[in-house]
Amino acid sequence: MCASVDYSGLLSTRLIKGDEMKHTKLPWKIGIEPQVVSSKEGKVICRTSYKNPAKDVEGVATAEFIVRACNSHYELLEALVAVSEILGQGNQLDAVYDKGWIDELINKAIGERR
């Protein structure tokens, strides 16, 4: 289990400013081809494959997964932080969720490895 961490001030949907992001601004979308992830403005972020899209189920699915994961990352992280702040206060949720596990997920999402 992770030690209790203060996540106040964590970059989140409410706190993050567009110019604080080091990555291409969200949301991302499927680009001009089904294996291409691009910005809303059409800037290519990545290509998961150069195969024929009609035969490339994995490449298409990977691009779709990247778009879903990245577009929901900050909202999901914010939800985990909210749950972490509630846990450990002696309420009913403590019996259902492990705060250490939630904190591990937060650390994983923000790139901290233990």
* Mean pLDDT, range 47-65, rounded to an integer: 94
User: pLDDT tens for residues 73-102?
Assistant: 999 999 999 888 888 888 888 888 888 899
CB atoms within 10 A of CB 25: 12
Question: In this structure, are residues 23 and 14 in contact, taking their beta carbons and an 8 Å threshold?
Answer: no
Place of tokens 């999901």: 76
Q: pTM of the entire structure?
A: 0.75
Q: Which residues pair with 28 in a beta bridge?
A: 39
User: pLDDT tens for residues 23-42?
Assistant: 899 999 999 899 999 999 99
Q: Angle, nearest 10°, between helix axes 99-109 and 57-86?
A: 130
- 111 φ/ψ sector (left φ>0, alpha ψ -120 to 50, else beta): left
